[in-house]
Amino acid sequence: MQLIIYGIINSITLSLMSLGFTLVYSISRVPNFAHGALYILSGYLVWLFINKFAGFPYPLAIIVAISLTAIVGALIYRFILIRIRGMEISEIIATYAIGLAILEGLRWGGLRGGTFTLPTFAAGSVNLFDVSVDYQRLIIVGVGILTFILLYAFTRYTKIGLALRGIAQDERAAMMLGINSDMTAIVSLAIGSALSGFAAVLLLPLGNIVVETGYNVLIFAIAVCVIGGLGSWGGTIVASFVIGFAQLLTEAFISTHYQMVVALLAIIVTLLVKPSGIFGKQKELEERV
C-alpha cells in the first residue's frame, strides 16, 4: 500500500517537473535545456522574497516569483532564440548555455549548502490506509491533478490555447490562419517557464534548494519526455507514472542510488524499442532515419 501511495506521489512529482519542458517542445520545437535552471531560479526567488524582504507574505512571493520566471522565459525567446530559430545545433547550445549560466551563477552567488529551504504550506500528516502522508505531498497530488485539468481546458477552450495547439500541429497551416508563430512561441516559453517555476514552488519545500537539483530536474524531465514521446502530453503523464513506479521499486528492493540509472536505462530501452516513445505516433517517420 505504501508503495502505491508513494508511487502515485512520485509520479505526479515527475510529471509536474516535466510538464514545462514538454509544453515548450511540443509547441515551439525548442528543446529547452534551461528548464532545470528556471526551476531552481524560481525557488531561489521565492526564498529571496521571503527572507531578504521582510514582511513579504508567502503567497505573494510565490506569485511574483512565478511571474518573474515566466518573464525570463519569454525574454530568452524574444532576444536569443528568435534569432536562431530552426538551427537545431544553435538552439541546443544556446539553451544549454543559458541554463548553465543561470545555475552556475546562482552557485557562485552563494547558493550552496543546506541553508536554503522553503516553508511547507501546511505542517502535519495524515494516515491514509495506514500509511502516513504529510499534507505537503497531498497538496502536490491535488494541485498536480488540478494543473493537468486546467491545462487541458486551457488548450481546448481558450483562443490562445487553441492557437498554441494549432502551431504545434501544423505551423504553416496555422500561420496561414493568421496565428503569429513567434508570438505563440513566446507565450509557450513563458507558460513553460511558469510551469517549471510552479513545480519548483510546490516541490522544493520537501528538500533544500541546491544547484544539483537543477540538473536532476532537467534530466528527469527529459527522461519522462523521451519515454512519453517528445512533445506528447498524454505520453508525458503516462511515462511519469512508469518512471515514478520504476524508481520506487528500485528504491525499495535495490538501493536509493539508482534513481538516475533507472531514468537513463528507461531512455535507452525506449530508444531501442520504440524511439518515438509511448504516444509519439505522429512524428515517428520524421525522427527515425
Partner 1 sequence: MEMMRKERIDRGLKVRTEGLYAISSYREILYLMGPRLLLIIGIIALPFIFELAPYWKRVINIMFVYALLALSFDFLANYVGLVCLGGAFLTGVGGYFTAIYNVYLGFPIYLAIPCATISGAAFCTLCLLPCLPLRGVYFAIVTLMYPLLFTRIIEALNILGGTNGITGLDGFPNQYVEHYIIIFLVIGFLFGMRRFVNQDIGLVLRGVKDNDQSVRASGIDVTRMKVLAVFVASLIGCFGGAYMAHLYMWTGISLFALDFSIIPIASVVIGGGGTLVGAVIGSFILVPLSEILRAFGTFRIVIYCAILTGFIVFKSEGLMIYMQRKYHQFERWVKV
Q: Which residues make up the interface to partner 1 (CB under 8 A)?
A: 31, 33, 79-80, 83-84, 88-90, 92-94, 96-98, 100-101, 104-105, 107-108, 215, 218-219, 222-223, 226, 230, 255, 257-258, 260-261, 263-264, 267-268, 271-272, 275, 286-289
Contact 26, 171 (CB under 8 A): no
Q: CB nearer to partner 1: give 115 or 132.
A: 115
Residue 125 and residue 6: Cα distance in Å, rounded? 14
C-alpha cell at 217: 530536474
CA distances for 233 relative to 17, 69, 99, 178, 226, angstroms: 13, 22, 23, 25, 11
Q: CB nearer to partner 1: give 118 or 209.
A: 209
Is 230 in a helix, a strand, or coil? Answer: coil
Q: CB nearer to partner 1: give 13 or 91.
A: 91
Query: Residue 46 Cβ, how far from partner 1 at the closest point, in Å?
Result: 22
Question: How many CA atoms, within 13 angstroms, populate the side-chain half-sphere of residue 103?
Answer: 24
CA distances for 252 relative to 6, 13, 29, 81, 127, angstroms: 11, 18, 37, 43, 20
Query: Residue 73 Cβ, how far from partner 1 at the closest point, in Å?
Result: 15
CA distances for 199 relative to 6, 28, 43, 69, 192, angstroms: 18, 21, 9, 12, 11
Query: Residue 19 Cβ, how far from partner 1 at the closest point, in Å?
Result: 17
Query: Residue 202 Cβ, how far from partner 1 at the closest point, in Å?
Result: 24
Q: CB nearer to partner 1: give 219 or 278.
A: 219
Q: CB nearer to partner 1: give 174 or 226.
A: 226
C-alpha cell at 157: 477552450
Q: CB nearer to partner 1: give 54 or 89.
A: 89
Query: Residue 256 Cβ, how far from partner 1 at the closest point, in Å?
Result: 9
- Specify burial of residue 204 (Cβ count, 10 A radius: 0-12, 13-18, 19+): buried
Q: CB nearer to partner 1: give 16 or 211.
A: 211
Query: Residue 249 Cβ, how far from partner 1 at the closest point, in Å?
Result: 17
| Sign of CA pseudo-dihedral 24, 25, 28, 31 | positive
Query: Residue 250 Cβ, how far from partner 1 at the closest point, in Å?
Result: 12
